[in-house]
Amino acid sequence: MGKYDADKYKEQLLFHAFDSMPGGVLIYKANEEEEILYANHATLTIFECDSFDEFMELSEGSFKKMVHPDDIELVESDIENQIITGIDKFDHVNYRIITKNNKVRYLEDYGKLVEHPELGLLYYVFLVDTDIKYLTYDVDKLTGLPGQKRFDEYATRLLKLMSINKDAPEMVYIYLNISHFKIINIKYGIERGDRILKEVASILKDTFKNDYISRFADDHFALLTVHEGIKEKIESVSRRIMDIELIGNTIELKIGAYLVTDYNEKAEISVGYAQIACESIKYQAGEHFIYYTEELGRKINLQYYVVNNIEKAIEKGYIKVFYQPVIRALTGELCGMEALARWIDPEVGFLNPYDFISALEDARLIHKLDRYIVEEVCKNYKRCVENDIPLVPVSFNLSRLDFVLTDIRKEIDDLAVLYNVPKKMLNIEITESMFMEDASRIKSQIDGFHESGYNVWMDDFGSGYSSLNVLKDFDFDELKIDMVFLSNFNKKSKDILESAVMMAKKINIQTLAEGVENKEQFEFLRSIGCEKIQGYYFSKPSPYEEIIKNCEEKGAVVEELSESEYYDRVGKVNFLTDKPLAISEDDGKHFRIFFANELFSEILRDSGVQSVEEAERNMNNPDNPIHKMLREFAVRVQENEEKEMTYPYGKEYMELEARVIAELNGRYMYALSINNITKNVNMKEKI
Ligand code: C2E
Ligand code: MG
Ligand code: MG
């Protein structure tokens, strides 16, 4: 074997080797024109040119013209930056080109700036057709779609290129997920599941023809597309997917969208937002499509925070119980409070239940909060007893999941025993919407609570869909009428409130209206016989001490527990009557009129008594003959000997009817009716 003749082969091999390379080789001058000196065979293939001349014609012999016009500016500055700042005068850029057949292709360009002894500064460039590169990399075998990594690279690159174009269209990331796909797989088999995925992929390809679509994993797809017309396309995709044949089931898509605002943001981040949006409607039946918003992002971050920090918040006492007073409509006395959770976090600040309850329910951690609130309520009771602070019964809210995740009844019982709290001091609120599922389990729990001696209230009555049904099937002691009826306070909602109160009395349930914000609402509710009132009109939820202090400052009376049953009996009276009605209390010395309906007041006025206050003064004035008559009449009514009394007033004869409705240690509550006999006789004569 002879000596290896390098020079002999150099010439022969060099260009042959370049032409046989699996990637493009390009040499151009680093001058203003960026004059192309050489392109190998692979470069010609990329540009779909048959000869070097054709390529030179297409590129006008210049690198500037070879690159897609929308990309060249960014590419040039990118190359320059890298050459200046990097070592070895090396650059790596991506751009689009347009082939001879007008196809757009993506190239990766690895270039190096080199000084040639005769030709001066040259760029030696190695070109890779990215689409070809990716053909063998990160492809989903099932659908043929690119995977997540490839999607991220592509989308990031595309948007970066678009960022320099002022007229670039608005772009949107779309994230799609098939609802309950795991169940489909289990129910119909993996093979059928796979076929569905393929069908979904082909529907997407068909709808988003020019877009880059990817299957990330399982039933998760993503794509990047123009924003214009997106709703129609989404609708069409959803419809076509619902049409996929699946015995006894339809396939439902959940779709999140993220409108691109920063074209330089990495795809993995942007598509993450679309995914977050998509997941936010995962459990919301009927919701298919949602845009990511900052508000949604904030909410989701918060949910994440809540779930991760609930134990710490309980341990460190960041969760506080706020109390909202409940007022007896008849007397204006404080007769109860509702315990409402507040999370006052040193890091994220003040959180309302709406910020954390549903997150805790989703994470199946709600029972931890609810048990803690009950314990705090019990502790507060014990502290008040020990320190002689006024006390009223407290109601607290339970969640449906409390019944599933723990033996909530036993937990409450144990706490009541531990802190020595009488059952009557604890009322349980269960929201109406809870009865949609697990009805039989909840029914037995309610019965159990009753057996233990607690009162159970239905919260948010009227806010859900099946209020009346729930009332029929479950036993409640009190109805909390939802504030929806007050927020739009018109004739119709008033009629509904009237009927609800009347119905509750008929089926022997007490009534409480929540969300009362002004005097008008309060007076109306009082006039229809709604027994208890809760709302900002009296107080916002506040710490216990503050409520008691406020009551003391205003001279408001705190109802004794023994009085509650007494007043509760008055609550059974139907105020909605077409007869004159007044409610009056008598402690043996003093009469007090708590309430008189319009007709009652009118008859009084007709007979010359201008107001209820005047009537009360007359009744209690020892110099007024009425006083003595009424005192004697009261004794006979209490003994059940008489019901009616006739007395003269001015020129008229009046008839008073009285009935004892409640009694407590010598205090009597009467329902009164009144009749102007003279006037009625006259009326009859006229007729
Ligand atoms: P809810 O039980 O119906 O409680 C009444 C809600 O209405 C409270 O909101 C209260 O602050 C608010 N509110 C009271 N008066 C007015 C008013 O006049 N106007 C208006 N606009 N709102 C008024 P909050 O405290 O934000 O509680 C919201 C819901 O969160 C509660 O509704 C209850 O369902 C739930 N919740 C609160 N604390 C707990 C808890 O410890 N455990 C569970 N499971 N749920 C809780
Ligand atoms: Mg409540
Ligand atoms: Mg409520």
Nearest CA to ligand 1 atom 30: 353
511 CB-contact burial (10 Å; exposed 0-12 / middle 13-18 / buried 19+): buried
Packed helices 366-387 and 294-315: angle between N→C axes, nearest 10 degrees: 50
Q: Classify residue 434 by its DSSP letter.
A: G
Q: pTM higher than 0.75, yes or no?
A: no
Residues of the chain with pLDDT under 50: 687
Q: What DSSP state is assigned to residue 471?
A: H
Q: Residue 317: phi, psi to the nearest 5?
A: 75, 25
Report how far ligand 1's centroid is from the alpha carbon of 544 (Å): 16
State residue 2's pLDDT score: 52
Predicted pLDDT of residue 682: 62
Q: Under a CB-based contact definition with an 8 Å cutoff, are residues 106 and 99 in contact?
A: no
Exposure string of 120-135, with b = 16+ CB inside 10 Å and e = fewer, is eebbebbbbbbeeebe
Nearest residue (CA) to ligand 1, atom 43? 397
Q: What angle do CA 490, 491, 492 make, to 5 degrees?
A: 95
pLDDT value at residue 146 = 87
Angle of the 181-188 helix axis to the 190-207 helix axis, nearest 10: 130
Residue 237: count of CB within 10 angstroms of its CB: 23
Going by alpha carbons, the residue nearest to atom 34 of ligand 1 is: 397
353 lines ligand 1 (CB under 6 A): yes
Cβ 464 under 6 angstroms from ligand 1: no
Alpha carbons 571 and 565: distance in angstroms, whole number: 10
CA gap 45, 371 in Å, rounded: 72
Question: In a mutational test of the pocket of ligand 1, which residue from 357, 394, 478 has the highest number of ligand atoms less than 8 Å from its CB?
Answer: 357
Closest CA to 668 of 578, 601, 594: 594
Q: Is 515 in the pocket of ligand 1 (CB under 6 A)?
A: yes
Any ligand 1 atom below 6 A from CB of 431: yes
Q: Ligand 3 centre from 37 Cα, in Å?
A: 80
CA distance 437 to 417: 31
**Alpha helices (runs of H) in 140-225, residue ranges in sequence order:** 148-163, 181-188, 190-207
Establish whether residue 517 lines the binding site of ligand 1, counting it when its CB lies within 6 angstroms of any ligand atom: yes
SS3 453: coil
Nearest CA to ligand 1 atom 8: 340
Per residue in 54-112, pLDDT tens? Answer: 999 999 999 999 999 988 888 888 888 878 776 677 888 888 899 999 988 888 898 99
Rg (alpha carbons) of the chain, rounded to whole number: 40
The number of the ligand nearest the C-alpha atom of 360 reads 1
Q: Are strands 532-534 and 36-39 parallel, antiparallel or unpaired?
A: unpaired
CA of 319 to the centre of ligand 1 (A): 15
| CA separation for the pair 356, 352 (Å, rounded) | 7
226 burial type by CB count under 10 A (0-12 exposed, 13-18 middle, 19+ buried) = middle
Q: For residue 337, what are the β-bridge partners?
A: 325, 394
CB contact at 8 A, 145 and 212: no
Nearest CA to ligand 1 atom 24: 353
Based on the number of CB atoms within 10 Å of its own CB, is 189 exposed (0-12), middle (13-18) or buried (19 or more)?
exposed
CA distances to 339, 371, 511, 512, 633 from 459, in Å? 13, 18, 11, 9, 43
Per-residue pLDDT, 582? 96
The preferred substitution site among 340, 360, 429, 481 for testing ligand 1, maximizing ligand atoms within 8 Å of CB, is: 340
Q: How far is CA 419 from CA 375, 405, 412, 527, 653, in A?
A: 9, 23, 11, 39, 59
Q: Evaluate: CB of 333 within 6 angstroms of ligand 1.
A: no
Residue 587 amino acid letter: D
- CA torsion, ordered 376, 379, 383, 389, to nearest 10 deg: 50
